[in-house]
Structure formats: C-alpha cells, structure tokens
C-alpha cells in the first residue's frame, strides 16, 4: 500500500510540534513517546501499520479548533480517529501526520424524547446511545457489528450500516445534525433537531466522507421507539441458489424485513462449533429473517415469510418462540468473524454490495476466484440489501499469502462492480480499497468528488492518502477545459 | 425571448452545456416547469428543456430501484410504480398547484433537485434519502456520475446528497436512480377533533409527540387548525367544526386495524376520536402533502415553509401569527409549518420570521411570492459565514462559470 511520501522536515520537528500542541492540550493529551505511539499504529484493518508522528487527544471543541488552526498554519497533516474500529484503514496514521483522537468526547449532552433525538459528543459508542434511551423504550437504529466499541463520530465519518439498513437506513438517514471543525479551525454547525437543510445538504456530504472534510465534535441523531415485537425465522436451504431466490421472493412479496442475513456452509459449521447456536448442519445455506414492528404485523409477516420459504425449497424452518431464542439465532451470525478466526490464522473481510438478483452468479464466480488462488473463502451476507462480506482465509506467516489474499479481495470487488454493484457497502474505502476506485469511477467522476474536498481542505492536510488513489492539486482541479471549435452545436433541437 | 435548447440525447445535453460554458451563457434548467416559480428569479440566456430526456430506463421492482432520465414525468413514474404495487416512500408533493400551475406536472429530476418530501418524511426521509445515484453534466461541461443502484453504498463522497436540493445550481442531472418500496396495503387515519373554540396547537403537538413516540409505527402526523380543516374535501374533517389532528397508520390490514384501535384508545384523552379508512385517508394526506389549503388562495399570496424541532412548532407559529395576518398548517409532527400570509409586505416579513425560527433552531424558505419579492428577499435560509464560503467553493468546483441556474438559490452562486 503506497502512502504519500512522508515529509522528513516535518518528522524532524516532532519535539517542537509536540511542545506547541501541549500549549493547546495540556497534560497527557499529547503523546509523542515511541512506545505509546505504537498503540495507535493501526485501526481495525490491522494488516497495515504506521505509528503516527504525534497523537493529540483534545477534550473540547475549542481545543480541536486550535489544534487544526495550528496544523493549518504549520502545514502539518491530520488524521482524525474515533474508536479505531474502522475496517478500511481510514484512521491509518501517517509518519508525518498528527493523529487527532476524539476518545475524550464521551458525554451524551442531551436526550430529547419529545423531539425524538439525542445530542451527543462523538466519542460516545453507538451502543452507548441506545443504552442511554432504552429504559424509555427508544433506540438508535443503525447497528454496525462493532457497535459495542465503535464511536458515533466514526459512524458519521464512515456512514456506518449494520444488519437493519434495508428497513431503517444507514447512518446518513439517521443523523440530524453535527458540529464540526474545518481544517482552518473554523467551527461549523449543520442541521439540528429539525429536518433537512435550508441550503446545500452539507450534512449529507460530510456523512461518509471518511475524515477528509472535517472533524466531527458533536452529533445529533434521531432515536426511534423500540418495536413492540421482533421475531426471527431460521431457514435452511439445500442450495445457495434456493436461498438467493427466497431473498428475492420475500422482497417481491412486499415484505421489508428488519434484517435478512445469509451464511454459507463453511460459516455455519465454524459458528456452530464456536457458539452452539443450534444451527442445522445439513444445509448448504442458512438464512435469518427478522421481522419487527407492532405485534399484529409481525405475526402476519412471519406467516407470510414462512410460506415463501417453503415454496423456495427450504429444508429447515424454525421460528423463534421468545427473545432468548431469537438472540440465539443471531449469536451465530454475530460471532461469524471470530468463529472464522478460529479456523484460520488470518482473514480479510470484503465488503462489496451487489444487486440481490446477482447473488447466485456472484457466489459461483467467487468459488472460481477462490480455487484459482488456492485460498478458502467463507461467506456471510446482509442478503436483504445485497451487502456481501466474503471472508478470505489465509496465513500471514506463509510468505506471499497476504498478497494473494489481497488479490482475491481485489478480484471479488472488481466482480461486484462488474455485475452492477459497488466497492463498499459499509466499511468505507480508506486505504484498503483506494486503488480500486478506478474500477467504479472514471477520472472525471473522481475529479468531481475531489473538487468537493477542495472546498473544505484545499491544501489536502486532512487525512491525505485515503479514499482517492491520486491526489490532484486543487489549483489543477479548478482549471477549466476549453472546448474549442465545437460551436454552435447545430445538432441540438432549438426552439 | 431567449433560446430554448431541448436535447434528445445525452450527447446533445453535453453539447448544450459545453456551449453554455464556453460562451458563458447562463441556462435555466427545467422539464415541465412546475416549480419554476420556486427559488430566486434568474437572468438567463437560454432555457435547457429536459422534457425530451424522459425515459424510464430500468425499473426492477424486486431490486427496489428505478433509473429514469431526469425529465421523466412524475405521472409516468407514478404510473409505473403503481402497476408494480410500489411507491416513492418519501411521498413527493405535487407543488405545481401551490405555485399557481396545473395538477400532475413535475419531473423526477425536479423532485430530486428541490429535495421535497411529503408527510412520510418523518419516518422515511426526504428525496435526499432515496437517491441512490445519478449521472450528470457539470457546469464544466463534463459528464460524471456518483452512487449506484444499491441501497448500501459508501464508495466515495455521497454527491447524491449534494445534488438533492441544489436546485440545478451544481450540475444538470441526465438520469437518477431512486429507491422504490412496496406501497402499503392499507391506510387508516386517527383523527382527534378539538372543541370548536380556542386554540389547541400546543396540545396537538403533545398528542402528535405521544403518537410518534408510541410503538404503533405512525407514518404521518399533521395538525390543521379550524380554518384549514374546514376546507378539506373529506367530510369527517371539514365537518369536525374545529381543529383536527391526524395520525396515519399503514401496513397489512390486520396490523393497521389492530394499531388503529390501540392508538385511538391511547389518544382519547385529548378529544373526540374518529377513524378514516384507506380512501378518505388517501384524499386527506394528499391535501396535506400538496398544501391544498393554500392552493388558489389569492388572499394568501405569500407562503413560507418552516422546518423546526417538532415540539417547537406550535410555539413558533403562534408567536408569528400574533404579529402577522395569515394561516398555518402543521405537518411532520409539528416540525413542518406551512405559513400563508395575507399581505405582501415589501420584505415578506423575512427578518421577523427567520429570527423567530432561529430561537428554536431551523430554517425558513419563501416558497410562494411574487417574483419581485423573491428577488429582494432571501428565498432560502441565509447561510453563516462559514457555510457561505463552503457553499461558494463547492459551487465553484461544479460550475465555475456560473452557467447552471445561476442565482436560483443565492445571489452570485
């Protein structure tokens, strides 16, 4: 993974910069000891590591603003970091950059049940929001599987998803407002407890911008009333094709489940050995369909889905009789990654999205990719929204296997794009998929995105080297092409 | 009279914008022109008429998306969706009549460009939440795209959000992909009728908050003061002889029936409770969606749309109506106030309205007003200095020569 060449002259200034930062963030909020910096050398994508130049952990928005102002003035790069659970290397440090951690922003500022929203600092965990409002019967809908650890600020940066996206949307559909600090230190507030923007939807483009546009210092999210009831069906199929058809048939019948997850045989066996969820072992594909809502609706839809499953050739159907059993159905799926971790020393988790109807085709072609490179691939999907998480199994101790696994990953993602899908459903591009952006976007597409970056951070000081394979200078991007000799376009119908 | 360019292919569209860019000829972009009077009046050299780029290119109900050329008419889009039992769940309003035009006009591009949404906004989001991707020509005369056809997609910056609500000031969309969803089988509406005399706006906000905070999955919550209720085509509403608050429930029949009974029971402490079934419900919510109560009202020449925190709705509206002569209706559980004003003041009471909204946080848009007024008064919420700078820079990145709907949102942008 090629990162922008570190600026040795900045690295040489480590002590001086740390001293200056200590005048903004006093005490232990500035870290520059080699050993302590190791703790920040990667995020959830652990294959890539780089200790940062310095780590700063401010406690107030003003401090964030002063730090950014200082870095802007001194031309020093910044890498924002939430809880460090991101899976695409968005918070991978730079050797000549300061990692700005938001881990001290841990307070929930306001819970407003009547307006159904929570105002919180960005370091609060995703689950922390639900925990704070659960006693009153509310919850925060997006639920990435790292929800116990990941921060809401990081969720906004990555536009995190989870298993309930089809019905409840991603982070972007559940964020009402933010306070953020721009690279020049300017503090800006977007949105609030009201809906939509009076001007351009800046909040919309900030969400999912992977720390390239600003540092989030406060978030307002909407909370929802917990559904009266949730029931899950555990459905086994003799073939993956049957399972794929069942997914399509459920949607076609007008049912939008709260969650619809699919696992292949390798995953079923690995998870069953690990958590003993009671999964049937004689099926090729196992699906969990969760239906939530008012009692009467859930009962009605469960019966409907059971019918469809049987018509789709299901060989096993079990409906949860209580919440305990429902949680047991989920326990296997939620532990799929660590379960795979038990049968393979290392794995890469892929994150493409495909149109649902392509599921069977993509699975078959993935088998081919797996055979060609000689690495096993286990499959779990958010089937309802077409988000695939193939797990590529390898052993980093075998020379060359990481590189082979990366190749398998690139082949799978290229396949996703080829069938009309996208490179990332919820984990983000970061450094991991950065160099594949060209498979989905043209040069002009990418330039237009980067011009948005230029509006926020024209010097490319915030999180450079992430998302975009090539950093064009903003002055270059701003230039206009002149189209000589094509006037006056006689072909256009004019009236 | 200015030129009209009416491209029939993407190549012609690209040529048209390239011409405008090189010649620095500002374009007004439209399809049916139903929302032409929404925004600041513009000085343009030519009109870019998108109405010939009107095909629905891909519609796959089982994949829950539709890709249509930007000029595709809403009537075609709606018809195709209805045939498959689906809809656009953000419930795009037909603002044509409110703005003095005909019923049933509008294009999918216009709906996205104005980021409008109906009563279901509180549950399902606005147009911004349903645009999965688009293709466009920027003011640089370059084709580009963003997004895709799938719901779960975090690949690159989400330019779809920027396009939604940019009123054509950044790029001309050639095609858009929107999320489609199954339409609900049945609809019921719980109506609370308030006593004939007095103002019940505050109590209505509480009733709506209670309903929206209940597990009954309420998909819309509106309050019509007595004057507005009287004008409804639904007998139960117009005959209520007072203000009404309406809560909508949608879904499979057994579910809707069950929830309606529970919700009615929970709300009966507020006032007399009635129930509308599917047909009446549809009529009623279409009236709310399209702000029917202000359509064709020469006595209310100015209409503002205010977005505020839901529980601040009544407080804000009552404070405004103490000093201004007009009427209001509330949607989005109180978070959306449609304010009709009966006199055309030279400033449309802009500063008073915006400072009142600012007290609770939110924004105000001048949706209907004579064009002189829309030239002199900020139509869209004035921006903070930081927002203004970012907005200008973003615009510069898309349309450096200012040839696409220049000044439609803000002067000089």
Picking from B248, B272, B289, the residue at the C-terminal end of a domain is B289
Best to test chain B binding among A195, A297, A354 (most B CBs inside 10 Å): A195
- Smallest CA–CA distance, residue A208 to chain B, in Å, is 6
Q: Cβ separation of A382 and B307 shorter than 8 Å?
A: no
Q: Which residue of A has its CA nearest to B9?
A: A492
Enter the pTM of the model.
0.96
Residues B224 and B210 in one domain: yes
The count of structural domains within chain B is: 3
CB distance from B397 to chain A under 8 Å? yes
Which residues of chain A does B251 touch, with a Cβ-Cβ cutoff of 8 Å?
Answer: 293-294, 297
Q: Cβ separation of B251 and A354 shorter than 8 Å?
A: no
Reported as a pLDDT band with limits 50, 70 and 90, residue A485 is: very low
Q: pLDDT exceeding 70 applies to what percent of chain A? A: 97
Give the sheet arrangement for strand B272-276, strand by strand. Answer: B272-276, B186-193, B244-251, B218-224, B326-331, B336-341, B302-307, B363-368
Pick the CATH number of A229-337 from 3.40.50.720, 3.10.20.70, 3.30.70.2190, 3.40.50.1950: 3.30.70.2190
- Asked if residue B159 is part of any domain, the answer here is yes
CB distance from B202 to chain A under 8 Å? no
- Quick check: B2 pLDDT over 90? no
* Nearest by CB: A248 against B62, B159, B336: B62
Does A488 sit behind a cis peptide bond, omega within 30 degrees of 0 on the bond before it? yes
Containing H/E element for B88?
Answer: none
Residues B84 and B177 in one domain: yes
Domain that holds residue B176: 49-182
* Nearest by CB: A205 against B8, B121, B157: B157
Picking from B289, B313, B328, the residue at the C-terminal end of a domain is B289
pLDDT number for residue A484: 53
Residues near B223 by beta carbon (within 8 Å), at least 6 away in sequence: B201, B204, B205, B208, B243, B244, B245, B246, B313, B329, B330, B334
Best to test chain A binding among B57, B156, B316, B378 (most A CBs inside 10 Å): B156
pLDDT number for residue B383: 96
Reported as a pLDDT band with limits 50, 70 and 90, residue B1 is: very low
- Quick check: A486 pLDDT over 70? no
- Quick check: A266 pLDDT over 60? yes
* Nearest by CB: A256 against B11, B166, B181: B181
B56-98 per-position pLDDT tens digit: 999 999 899 999 999 999 999 999 999 999 999 999 999 999 9
Domain residues of chain A, as ranges? 8-101, 108-225, 229-337, 345-433, 435-473
With beta carbons less than 8 A apart as the criterion, state whether A143 and A163 touch: yes
Q: Cβ separation of A494 and B164 shorter than 8 Å?
A: no
Q: pLDDT exceeding 90 applies to what percent of chain A? A: 89
Nearest to B115 by CA among B330, B369, B305: B305
- Quick check: A434 pLDDT over 50? yes
* Nearest by CB: B397 against A197, A455, A487: A455
- Smallest CA–CA distance, residue A59 to chain B, in Å, is 23
Q: Cβ separation of A296 and B164 shorter than 8 Å?
A: no
> What residue has token string 């232990």?
A28
pLDDT number for residue B196: 74
Q: Which residue of B has its CA nearest to A475?
A: B397
- Quick check: B3 pLDDT over 80? yes
Which residues of chain A does B146 touch, with a Cβ-Cβ cutoff of 8 Å?
Answer: 445, 448-449
CATH number at residue B371: 3.30.70.100
- Quick check: A133 pLDDT over 50? yes
Q: Where are the beta strands (DSSP E) in B43-142?
A: 46-49, 56-60, 65-69, 86-87, 131-138
| Mean pLDDT lowest among A211-225, B105-119, B340-354 | B340-354
Residues B296 and B282 in one domain: no
Reported as a pLDDT band with limits 50, 70 and 90, residue A488 is: very low
Residues B319 and B282 in one domain: no
Q: Which residue of A has its CA nearest to B408?
A: A199
Interface of B with A in 319-348 (CB under 8 A): 332, 335-336
Q: Cβ separation of A452 and B60 shorter than 8 Å?
A: no
Q: Which residue of B has its CA nearest to A433?
A: B155
pLDDT number for residue B15: 96
- Asked if residue B5 is part of any domain, the answer here is no
CATH number of the domain located at residue range(s) A108-225 in this protein: 3.30.465.10
* Nearest by CB: A200 against B165, B185, B401: B165
With beta carbons less than 8 A apart as the criterion, state whether A452 and A205 touch: yes
Nearest to B165 by CA among B48, B25, B305, B371: B305
* Nearest by CB: A426 against B145, B154, B185: B154
- Asked if residue B222 is part of any domain, the answer here is yes
pLDDT number for residue B136: 98
Q: Cβ separation of A480 and B157 shorter than 8 Å?
A: no
Rg of chain A taking only CA atoms, in angstroms:
24
Q: Using CA atoms, how far apart are residues A369 and A375, in angstroms rounded to an integer?
A: 9
Residues B268 and B350 in one domain: no
* Nearest by CB: B311 against A114, A226, A357: A114
Q: Using CA atoms, how far apart are residues B18 and A488, in angstroms rounded to an integer?
A: 10
* Nearest by CB: A165 against B142, B151, B398: B151
CB distance from B292 to chain A under 8 Å? no
Residues B197 and B320 in one domain: no
Task: Establish whether this prediction's ipTM goes over 0.95.
Answer: yes
- Smallest CA–CA distance, residue B344 to chain A, in Å, is 22
* Nearest by CB: A445 against B85, B146, B164: B146
Q: Cβ separation of B258 and A248 shorter than 8 Å?
A: no
Which residues of chain B does A477 touch, with a Cβ-Cβ cutoff of 8 Å?
Answer: 397
CATH number at residue B258: 3.30.70.3450
Per-residue pLDDT, averaged over A120-147, amounts to: 96
DSSP for A290-350? EEEESHHHHHHHHHHHHHHHHHTT-SEEEE-SSHHHHHHHHHHHHTHHHHHHHHSSEEEE-
- Asked if residue B54 is part of any domain, the answer here is yes
Reported as a pLDDT band with limits 50, 70 and 90, residue A480 is: confident
Residues B62 and B167 in one domain: yes
CB distance from B83 to chain A under 8 Å? no
B171-215 per-position pLDDT tens digit: 999 999 999 999 999 999 999 999 877 789 999 999 999 999 999
CATH number of the domain located at residue range(s) A345-433 in this protein: 3.30.70.2740
CB distance from B223 to chain A under 8 Å? no
Q: What is the mean pLDDT of chain A?
A: 94
B28-52 per-position pLDDT tens digit: 999 999 999 999 999 999 999 999 9
pLDDT number for residue A489: 52
Reported as a pLDDT band with limits 50, 70 and 90, residue B348 is: confident
Contacts for A187-191 with beta carbons within 8 Å, 24 or more apart?
A187/A61, A187/A65, A187/A217, A187/B386, A188/A214, A188/B384, A188/B386, A188/B387, A188/B390, A189/B384, A190/B387, A191/A220
- Asked if residue B238 is part of any domain, the answer here is yes
Reported as a pLDDT band with limits 50, 70 and 90, residue B396 is: very high
Helix (H, G, I), strand (E, B) or coil at B192: strand
Residues B257 and B338 in one domain: no
A371-393 per-position pLDDT tens digit: 999 999 999 999 989 999 999 99
- Quick check: A108 pLDDT over 70? yes
- Asked if residue B41 is part of any domain, the answer here is no
What Å distances lie between residue B291 and A392, B115, B231, B336, CA to CA? 54, 16, 11, 11
- Quick check: B336 pLDDT over 70? yes
pLDDT number for residue A380: 93
Determine whether domain A8-101 maps to CATH 3.30.43.10: yes
Helix (H, G, I), strand (E, B) or coil at A221: strand
- Asked if residue B19 is part of any domain, the answer here is no
pLDDT number for residue A492: 59
* Domains A229-337 and A345-433 belong to one CATH topology: yes
- Asked if residue B402 is part of any domain, the answer here is no
pLDDT number for residue A493: 62
Q: Cβ separation of B362 and A385 shorter than 8 Å?
A: no
Q: How many CB pairs under 8 A join A and B?
A: 321
Picking from B226, B261, B289, the residue at the C-terminal end of a domain is B289
CB distance from B6 to chain A under 8 Å? yes
Task: Tell me the backbone φ, ψ of residue A46, rounded to 5 degrees.
Answer: -85, -5
- Quick check: B132 pLDDT over 80? yes
Q: Cβ separation of B4 and A192 shorter than 8 Å?
A: no
Nearest to B332 by CA among B130, B128, B120, B127: B120
Indicate the angle between helix axes A240-252 and A359-373, nearest 10 degrees.
Answer: 150
């Amino acid at each position: 993974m090629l990162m922008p060449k570190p600026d040795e002259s900045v690295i040489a200034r480590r002590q001086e910069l740390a001293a200056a930062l200590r005048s903004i963030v006093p005490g232990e909020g500035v870290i520059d000891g080699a050993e302590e910096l190791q703790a920040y050398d990667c995020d959830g994508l652990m294959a890539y590591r780089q200790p940062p130049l310095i780590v700063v952990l401010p406690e107030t928005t003003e401090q964030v603003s002063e730090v950014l102002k200082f870095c802007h003035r001194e031309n020093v790069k910044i890498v924002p970091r939430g809880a460090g659970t991101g899976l695409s290397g968005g918070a991978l440090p730079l050797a000549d950059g300061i990692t700005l951690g938001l881990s001290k922003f841990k307070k929930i500022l306001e819970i407003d049940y009547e307006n159904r929203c929570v105002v919180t600092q960005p370091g609060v965990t995703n689950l922390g929001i639900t925990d704070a409002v659960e006693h009153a019967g509310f919850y925060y809908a997006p639920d990435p599987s790292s929800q116990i650890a990941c921060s809401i600020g990081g969720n906004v940066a990555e536009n995190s998803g989870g298993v309930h996206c089809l019905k409840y949307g991603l982070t972007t559909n559940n964020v009402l407002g933010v306070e953020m600090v721009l690279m020049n230190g300017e503090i800006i507030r977007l949105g609030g407890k009201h809906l939509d923007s009076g001007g351009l939807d800046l909040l919309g483009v900030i969400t999912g911008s992977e720390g390239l546009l600003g540092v989030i210092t406060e978030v307002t999210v909407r909370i929802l009333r917990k559904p009266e009831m949730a029931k899950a069906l555990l459905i086994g199929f003799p073939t993956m094709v049957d399972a794929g058809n069942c997914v399509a048939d459920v949607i076609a019948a007008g049912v939008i489940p709260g969650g619809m997850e699919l696992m292949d045989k390798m995953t079923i066996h690995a998870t069953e050995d690990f958590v003993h969820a009671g999964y049937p072992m004689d099926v090729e594909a196992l699906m969990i369909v969760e239906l939530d809502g008012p009692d009467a609706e859930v009962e009605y839809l469960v019966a409907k889905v059971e019918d469809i499953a049987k018509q789709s050739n299901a060989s096993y159907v079990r409906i949860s009789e209580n919440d305990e059993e429902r949680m047991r159905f989920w326990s296997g799926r939620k532990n799929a990654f660590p379960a795979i971790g038990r049968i393979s020393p290392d794995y890469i988790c892929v994150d493409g999205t495909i149109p649902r109807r392509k599921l069977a085709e993509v699975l078959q072609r993935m088998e081919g990719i797996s055979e060609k490179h000689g690495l096993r691939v286990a499959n779990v999907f958010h089937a309802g929204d077409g988000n695939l998480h193939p797990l590529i199994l390898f052993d980093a101790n075998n020379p060359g296997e990481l590189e082979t696994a990366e190749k398998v990953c690139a082949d799978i993602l290229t396949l996703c794009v080829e069938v009309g899908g996208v490179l990332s459903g919820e984990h983000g591009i970061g450094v991991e998929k950065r160099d594949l952006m060209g498979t989905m976007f043209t040069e002009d597409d990418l330039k237009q995105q980067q011009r948005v970056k230029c509006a926020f951070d024209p010097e490319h000081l915030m999180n450079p080297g992430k998302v975009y394979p090539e950093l064009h200078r903003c002055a270059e991007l701003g230039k206009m092409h002149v189209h000589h000799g094509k006037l006056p376009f006689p072909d256009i119908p004019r009236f | 009279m200015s030129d009209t360019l009416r491209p029939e292919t993407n190549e012609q569209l690209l040529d048209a914008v390239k011409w405008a860019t090189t010649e620095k000829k500002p374009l007004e972009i439209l399809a049916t022109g139903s929302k032409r009077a929404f925004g600041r009046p513009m000085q343009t050299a030519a009109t870019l008429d998108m109405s010939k780029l009107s095909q629905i290119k891909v519609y796959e109900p089982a994949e829950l998306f539709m890709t249509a050329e930007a000029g595709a008419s809403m009537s075609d889009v709606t018809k195709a969706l209805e045939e498959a039992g689906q809809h656009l769940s953000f419930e795009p309003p037909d603002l044509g009549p409110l703005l003095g035009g005909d019923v049933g006009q509008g294009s999918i591009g216009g709906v996205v460009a104005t980021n409008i949404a109906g009563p279901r906004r509180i549950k399902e989001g606005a147009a911004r939440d349903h645009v999965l991707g688009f293709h466009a020509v920027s003011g640089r005369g370059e084709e580009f795209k963003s997004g895709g056809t799938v719901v779960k997609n975090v690949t690159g910056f989400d330019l779809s959000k920027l396009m939604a609500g940019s009123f054509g000031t950044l790029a001309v969309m050639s095609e858009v992909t929107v999320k489609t969803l199954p339409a609900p089988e049945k609809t019921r509406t719980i109506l609370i009728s308030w006593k004939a005399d007095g103002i019940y706006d505050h109590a209505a906000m509480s009733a709506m908050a209670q309903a929206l905070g209940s597990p009954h999955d309420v998909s819309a919550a509106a309050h019509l003061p007595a004057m507005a209720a009287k004008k409804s085509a639904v007998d139960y509403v117009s005959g209520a002889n007072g203000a009404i608050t309406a809560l909508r429930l949608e879904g499979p029949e057994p579910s809707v029936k069950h929830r309606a009974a529970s919700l009615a029971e929970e709300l009966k402490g507020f006032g007399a409770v009635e129930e509308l079934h599917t047909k009446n419900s549809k009529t009623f919510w279409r009236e709310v969606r399209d702000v029917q109560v202000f359509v064709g009202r020469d006595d209310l020449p100015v209409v503002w749309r205010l977005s505020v925190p839901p529980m601040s709705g009544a407080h804000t509206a009552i404070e405004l109506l103490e000093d201004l002569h007009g009427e209001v209706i509330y949607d989005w559980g109180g978070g959306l106030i449609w304010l009709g004003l009966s006199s055309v003041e030279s400033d449309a009471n802009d500063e008073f309205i915006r400072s009142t909204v600012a007290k609770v946080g939110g924004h105000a848009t001048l949706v209907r007003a004579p064009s002189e007024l829309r030239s002199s008064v900020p139509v869209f919420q004035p921006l903070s200095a930081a927002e203004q700078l970012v907005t200008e820079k973003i615009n510069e990145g898309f349309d450096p020569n200012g040839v696409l709907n220049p000044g439609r949102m803000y002067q000089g942008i």
